[in-house]
């Protein structure tokens, strides 16, 4: 038993002594916790085998989650090799033979791909431009509310859409914008003609972004409100003594105070830029609105899972995921250099 | 009124400010106007937020004819509960509703087991390889296999047309994992040390000390996961073919998709009565699907702000 001689002084000696040397398992469990105290006093490194003996129960707890991650998160990442291999349904999930960049050059030469790519960029950019600043604005407005009960009520109501299924959201959007829905009732009340919004490609982007705002704006304020509570109050007093009015206080104290939070969320938003609400687009669009609504993910869904061209769709999906990764990394890098805030 | 009460408090120095904004003493007229405009803006926002719910509720109690005529806004027209009766008598609806309950319960149990155990391990700062384990989990937030490899994987594991395709792949949400991890890190260390001295193993400490102390975060995570699983429709859409296995969200999706394709096939402008009828049924289904969420919402809400803050500040 190699562990016995390293047991700390505060470990009751009787416990370790009483253990038969062969029961390293029980033993590890008993003196394992002592290690946390030890590391705080003495940061020395132990041999791997000893750590394993001490903390084997912790590692055991991690085994199932790790197997889960390996199978359901990392295996699909490796599964992307079918973008470079011919995949046959029912065959090897990692594909059967190498075909090189065949599928990559297929989508690069595919005009539909570039069409959906530009749709994705436009929709993603609109969503980012509209949905990123609004929670900040709402948080600033909420922060000026002095009646706690009113503030809480506004928050409760504005968070609510976040907890709804996307199916419900789309159902509501469709009812509001249907020919007999509220939007058209207002239009006809002012003497206009009813517009079949959901069948018009030119309306899709507005509908998408609008419903996105409705769904996310309240929830988006949570982190900003949390950040606002941490702004140092002496800064406001100093600003007031320097003659700053409330607007310049917001500009010079409040906004810089929540800048790290803003940057963090911006980086995260940029990383999901190309993933624009796949499920929502899938539920909202129809062949009449494909020209503006079709995005990379819906296209690869149709190509891959509906038309069963899995390798081709995997190539598109890999491209999309890589762009996302590169964008997160570069946004993080730029943010760290320019404003000193970063995710890691 | 608002301003005056605050002034009084400020003068007595009772008020402990959390937001750091000095209050009261020098409110300009402009600022008072702003306060009112702000309140108006926020009230308007709330009305906009609530309007879709109100309309759906009104439609669910209205007659198809009134919906078709575009008369339904905030209040039901031709009040009746026929659509509720129709949906309630639909065997498939109840079957799918029951499926949703089953999937939500099973999936939440699986997810909580894995997430709690893993979060506890990750919270042990002395653990060798802890950073690697965290890295393994966090990396999946930024890069994922994508829909096609996932589909291939689930198919080849033989999980298509079983509930496992719905309840297993969502088992660890990295965000929830990080929230739980930081909660465990903030637990008082003395308790665990005392338990160690008393000879409890890690399993014992985890089960008898840590879990009972973590009821708040466990409740939050149960609510987060169950809301997510309750709302999910896409996994079912991808992996299930048999309608008797569908969750209720997919039932609803098919209703909506059916209505919109009927509408796009020329009936749109005239507003066929079939479309109006289905708008009626849709509303009822939406209401019934949302009710459990609305029931637990007040409880979720109590927890989630602190939960989110924990996760974001420390995560």
Can you tell me the mean pLDDT for B116-141? 92
> Would the pLDDT of A111 be above 80?
yes
Q: How far is A51 from chain B (nearest CA, A)?
A: 7
A135 near B CB under 8 A:
no
pLDDT at res. B12: 37
Return the C-alpha torsion angle A254, A260, A264, A266, nearest 10: 50
For an interface test with A, give the residue of B9, B96, B133, B148 to mutate (most A CBs within 10 A): B148
pLDDT at res. B286: 92
Percent of chain B with pLDDT over 90: 42
Q: How far is A115 from chain B (nearest CA, A)?
A: 20
**What are B121's two structure tokens?**
């391990």
With CB atoms and an 8 Å threshold, state whether B171 touches A72.
yes
A342 near B CB under 8 A:
no
Can you tell me the mean pLDDT for A173-182? 87
pLDDT at res. B272: 53
d(CA B309, CA B304): 8
pLDDT at res. B313: 43
Comparing B111 with A325, the larger pLDDT belongs to B111
Partners of residue A300 in chain B, C-beta under 8 Å: 147-148
> Would the pLDDT of B303 be above 90?
no
Partners of residue A283 in chain B, C-beta under 8 Å: 253, 256-257
Partners of residue A321 in chain B, C-beta under 8 Å: 143-146
pLDDT at res. A121: 92
With CB atoms and an 8 Å threshold, state whether B49 touches A142.
no
> Would the pLDDT of A69 be above 90?
yes
For residue B260, name the pLDDT band (cuts at 50, 70, 90). low
The separation between the first and the last C-alpha atoms of chain B, rounded to the nearest angstrom, is 41
Could you tell me the CA-to-CA distances from A162 to A59, B39, B108, B203 in Å, in that order? 36, 23, 19, 37
Percent of chain B with pLDDT over 70: 81
> Would the pLDDT of B114 be above 90?
yes
Residues 74-133 of A with CB under 8 A from B: 74-80, 82, 87, 93
Considering A21-35, A91-105, A150-164, the range whose residues carry the highest mean pLDDT is A150-164
pLDDT tens digits, one per residue of B45-85:
999 999 999 999 999 998 888 887 778 888 888 888 888 99
With CB atoms and an 8 Å threshold, state whether B128 touches A158.
no
Partners of residue A195 in chain B, C-beta under 8 Å: none
Chains A and B form CB pairs within 8 A to the count of 340
pLDDT at res. A185: 87
- What phi and psi values does residue A85 have, to the nearest 5 degrees? -130, 150
With CB atoms and an 8 Å threshold, state whether A48 touches B128.
yes
Can you tell me the mean pLDDT for A324-336? 86
**Torsional class of B62: left (φ above 0), alpha (ψ -120 to 50), beta (otherwise):** beta
pLDDT at res. A251: 87
pLDDT tens digits, one per residue of B272-283:
556 666 788 889
Percent of chain A with pLDDT over 70: 86
pLDDT tens digits, one per residue of B141-196:
888 888 999 999 999 999 999 999 999 999 999 989 988 998 898 888 888 888 88
B308 near A CB under 8 A:
yes
For residue B1, name the pLDDT band (cuts at 50, 70, 90). very low
Comparing A113 with A269, the larger pLDDT belongs to A113
pLDDT at res. A325: 87
Among A162-171, A310-319, B64-73, the range scoring the smallest mean pLDDT is: B64-73
pLDDT at res. B132: 94
Which of B6, B149, B203 lies at the smallest CB-CB distance from A79? Answer: B149
With CB atoms and an 8 Å threshold, state whether A167 touches B256.
yes
Q: Mean pLDDT across chain A, nearest whole number?
A: 82
With CB atoms and an 8 Å threshold, state whether A36 touches B126.
yes
> Would the pLDDT of B253 be above 50?
yes
> Would the pLDDT of B138 be above 70?
yes
> Would the pLDDT of B97 be above 90?
yes
Among A32-46, A269-283, B147-161, B231-245, the range scoring the smallest mean pLDDT is: A32-46
Can you tell me the mean pLDDT for A232-251? 83
- The interface predicted TM-score (ipTM) is 0.82
pLDDT at res. A339: 76
pLDDT at res. B305: 64
pLDDT at res. B145: 84
Return the C-alpha torsion angle B222, B224, B230, B232, nearest 10: -130
Full-model pTM: 0.82
For residue B314, name the pLDDT band (cuts at 50, 70, 90). very low
pLDDT tens digits, one per residue of A28-43:
344 444 444 444 444 4
């Amino acid at each position: 038993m190699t562990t016995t001689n390293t047991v700390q002084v505060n470990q009751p000696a009787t416990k370790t002594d009483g253990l038969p040397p062969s029961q390293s398992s029980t033993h590890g469990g008993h003196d394992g916790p002592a290690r946390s105290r030890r590391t705080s006093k003495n940061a020395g490194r132990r041999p791997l085998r000893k750590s394993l003996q001490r903390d084997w129960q912790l590692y055991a707890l991690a085994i199932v989650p790790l197997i889960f991650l390996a199978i359901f998160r990392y295996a699909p990442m490796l599964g992307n090799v079918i973008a470079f291999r011919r995949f046959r349904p029912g065959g090897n999930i990692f594909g059967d033979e190498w075909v090189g960049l065949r599928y990559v050059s297929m989508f690069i030469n595919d005009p539909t791909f570039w069409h959906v790519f530009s749709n994705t960029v436009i929709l993603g950019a609109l969503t980012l431009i509209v949905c990123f600043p609004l929670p900040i604005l709402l948080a600033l407005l909420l922060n000026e509310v002095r009646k706690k009960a009113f503030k809480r009520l506004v928050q409760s109501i504005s968070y609510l859409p976040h907890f709804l299924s996307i199916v419900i959201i789309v159902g509501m959007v469709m009812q509001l914008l249907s020919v007999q829905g509220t939007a058209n009732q207002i239009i006809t009340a002012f003497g206009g003609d009813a517009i079949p919004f959901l069948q018009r490609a030119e309306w899709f982007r507005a509908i998408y972004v609008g419903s996105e705002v409705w769904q996310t704006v309240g929830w988006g304020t949570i982190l900003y409100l949390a950040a606002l509570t941490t702004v140092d109050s002496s800064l406001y007093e100093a600003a007031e003594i320097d003659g700053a009015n409330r607007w310049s206080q917001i500009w010079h104290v409040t906004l810089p105070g929540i800048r790290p939070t803003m940057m963090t969320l911006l980086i995260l938003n940029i990383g999901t830029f190309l993933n624009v609400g796949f499920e929502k687009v899938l539920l909202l669009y129809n062949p009449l609105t494909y020209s503006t609504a079709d995005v990379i993910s819906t296209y690869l869904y149709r190509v891959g899972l509906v038309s069963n061209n899995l390798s081709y769709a995997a190539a598109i999906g890999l491209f999309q995921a890589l762009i996302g990764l590169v964008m997160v990394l570069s946004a993080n890098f730029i943010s760290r250099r320019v404003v000193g805030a970063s995710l890691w | 009124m608002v301003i005056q009460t605050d002034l009084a408090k400020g003068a007595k120095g009772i008020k402990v400010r959390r937001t750091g904004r000095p209050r009261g003493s020098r409110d300009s007229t402009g600022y008072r106007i702003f306060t009112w405009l702000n309140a108006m803006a926020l009230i308007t926002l709330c009305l906009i937020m609530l309007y879709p719910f109100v309309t759906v509720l009104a439609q669910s109690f209205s007659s198809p004819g009134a919906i078709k005529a575009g008369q339904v806004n905030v209040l039901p027209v031709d009040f009746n509960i026929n659509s509720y009766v129709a949906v309630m008598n639909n065997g498939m609806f109840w079957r799918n509703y029951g499926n949703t309950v089953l999937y939500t319960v099973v999936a939440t149990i699986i997810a909580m087991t894995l997430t709690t155990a893993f979060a506890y391990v990750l919270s042990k700062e002395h653990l060798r390889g802890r950073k690697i384990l965290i890295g393994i989990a966090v990396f999946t937030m930024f890069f994922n296999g994508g829909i096609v490899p996932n589909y291939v994987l689930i198919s080849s594991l033989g999980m298509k047309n079983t509930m496992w395709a719905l309840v297993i792949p969502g088992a660890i949400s990295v965000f929830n994992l990080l929230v739980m991890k930081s909660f465990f890190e903030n637990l008082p260390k003395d308790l665990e040390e005392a338990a160690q001295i008393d000879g409890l193993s890690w399993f014992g400490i985890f089960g008898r000390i840590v879990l009972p102390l973590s009821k708040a975060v466990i409740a939050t995570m149960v609510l987060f996961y169950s809301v997510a699983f309750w709302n999910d429709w896409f996994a079912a859409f991808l992996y299930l073919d048999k309608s008797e296995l569908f969750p209720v969200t997919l039932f609803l999706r098919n209703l909506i998709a059916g209505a919109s394709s009927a509408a796009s096939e020329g009936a749109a402008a005239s507003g066929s009565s079939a479309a109006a009828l289905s708008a009626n049924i849709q509303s009822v289904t939406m209401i019934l699907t949302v009710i459990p969420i609305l029931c637990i919402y007040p409880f979720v809400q109590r927890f989630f702000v602190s939960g989110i803050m924990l996760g974001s500040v420390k995560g």
